[in-house]
Amino acid sequence: MATAAPESHLRENPFRLAQQQLYKVGETFGIDERLINVLRECKKAVEVSIPTSMEDGSVRAFTGYRVTHNIARGPSKGGIRYHPDVTADEVKALAMWMTWKCSLMGLPFGGAKGGVVCDPKAMTRSELERMTRRFTSEIINEIGPEKDIPAPDVGTDASTMAWIFDTYSMNKGHSVLGVVTGKPLTIGGSLGRVEATARGSLYCLQSVLERRGTSLQGLRIAVQGFGNVGSYFAKFAVEEGATVVAISDSGGGIHNGNGVDVAAAFAHKRGGGSLSELKGGDAITNEELVVVDCDVFAPCALEQVITEANADQVKAKLIVEGANGPVTPAADEILEGNGVLVLPDVLANAGGVVVSYFEWVQGLQEYFWKEDEVNARLNEIVTRAFDETWATYEDRKTSMRMAAYGVAVQRVAEATVTRGLYP
């Protein structure tokens, strides 16, 4: 008997939303419609079947995608996610957002993304390795250090990258350090890569607070998602004097107005536990966490958690998008009308791709940097991007999202015009 598919977290088509955002940028910044027609489409999308031997002796054919949105500014770059809700249009949207993110940060990359429709939590490590290696074999002609460089995303980690790196290198006959980023340190990973996305989010938050003449001291923060980004963001925020009042993972979380013990949660999660088991607070669902009473809300999980349906109930006055696409365009307008400042994904979570770029550079040179060097350069790049976005935000009297996208899209459009159309 066929089992019913679980309800997806995607309420609207993410690629259509990404295109809508692009059209709005085109109108706001007066970008030639012919250029928008080029930028609204993905350069290449590949769908592959990934037959995998399972532990019970059966063979399952998973579906995988690799999408390149744009390469006007350099080779494409972007994560691979393993999740039951992965769709072709979700991967396309994420690839487009990666293009804007790399452009905003001033990196010589275009955007790409990959995904496999699977539930990694329900698979053994051996099954994941076999699936990953076969997926790599299926897309081996699409990726490479001068062509398209994958990285971790939702449901993947350094081990996944190690398997891709090894499979690719075995096929090439020599180690190719630059084929993926987010690798373990022992095989050419970069110091600071694991915490990079959260650090970048923190730098953005600190920059906006400085503009307002305040600091993180005593600020009440709610964090949705306690994976790589959310857990480190909560940890760093507490270290800087903030109070984290609520945290959650995919199974729910806890709320405590006086502050959650983030260090205990961090240790519990690293030990394989779920946040709903934690003591020291009241149980809270992910839906409740979005509208909890706090100063800053950091959605660090999946897309479309703030929608038209709940945007009016959001109490935070500042949103830091640790995840990609957590606020829909309709919700954006409601939040803006309510005086909520949104630090958009292409700015707030770009720290990961910045240090991925550093890892790629280090791999090509086969010369590796110290951690404080990595963090200092990350701070410099993210802060510069924030300053450019803030200047456009004030100058154009628009939202931070429009400002960030405007800066980014104009750079890609300019590169497209400079290169010209071939033939």
Q: What are the structure tokens assigned to 126, written together?
A: 């051996």
Decide the pairing of beta strands 243-249 and 220-224: parallel
State the catalytic residue, choosing from 77, 101, 113, 269: 113
Provide CB contacts within 8 A for 374, sequence distance 6+.
190, 191, 192, 193, 196, 355, 358
- Hey, what amino acid is at 334? I
Nearest to 195 by CA among 140, 161, 237: 237
Q: What is the DSSP string of 206-251?
A: HHHHHHTT--STT-EEEEE--SHHHHHHHHHHHHTT-EEEEEEETT
Pairing of strands 252-255, 243-249: antiparallel
Polymer length of the chain: 423
End-to-end CA distance of the chain: 53
User: 223 pairs with which residues across the strands?
Assistant: 247, 298
**CB of 313 within 8 A of CB of 288?**
no
DSSP single-letter state for residue 327: B
Best CA proximity match to 210, nearest among 390, 418, 44, 67: 390
Residue 403, CA distances (Å) to 150, 254, 369 in order: 27, 35, 33
Examine the residue annotation and report whether 113 is marked as an active-site residue of this protein: yes
Cis peptide before 423 (omega within 30 of 0): yes
Q: Which two tokens stand for residue 104?
A: 């905003």
CA dist., res. 271 & res. 266, Å (int)? 9
User: Active-site positions?
Assistant: 113
